[in-house]
Copies of this chain bind each other. A is one copy, B any other.
């Protein structure tokens, strides 16, 4: 469904969000420990998220990654997916056709439209904040 990079990105963001709700800045190592991901690769992904203004990053000692508590509600799953994987998953044809559309649909266009729209709606309405509170309550897990 998503690239590995995107999976790491979502898991990392949920963790950072959870910590930020308690005003805790986290280091790269904290993140990789929490989500069990390769360190250097995760670093690249956090850079992407940082450039996309989804998370903040600070250098130096006491540095690390964080999110703006006030803006936590604004960040949806779709925000992260778009930043890392782009929106091919919403817009692209299920069979990879460039010119697939209502007027000239691929054989599975209509069947996929339903699924896609549901997926889109889900990603656009699910906030990172809500996912982070579930995590804190121990209802969900980030590893293994």
Contact = CB atoms under 8 A, between A and B. Distances in A.
Q: From A7, A92, A139, name the one whose CB has the most chain B CB atoms within 10 angstroms.
A: A7
Contacts of A107: 10-11, 14, 131-132, 134-135, 140-142
Give the number of copies in the complex: 2
Given A7-B95, A122-B115, A109 B140 contact: yes
A11 B95 CA distance: 7
Interface residues of A, number: 41
Contact of A106 (B1, B104, B106, B141): B141
Interface string A1-29: 11010010011001000000000000000
Contacts of A4: 96
A63 interface: no
B105 A140 contact: yes
27 contacts: A1-B1, A1-B89, A1-B94, A10-B95, A10-B108, A11-B95, A11-B106, A11-B107, A14-B107, A77-B108, A77-B111, A97-B141, A97-B143, A97-B144, A99-B144, A100-B141, A104-B141, A105-B139, A105-B140, A106-B142, A107-B134, A107-B140, A108-B126, A111-B122, A111-B126, A112-B122, A115-B119
Contacts of A118: 114-115, 118
A59 interface: no
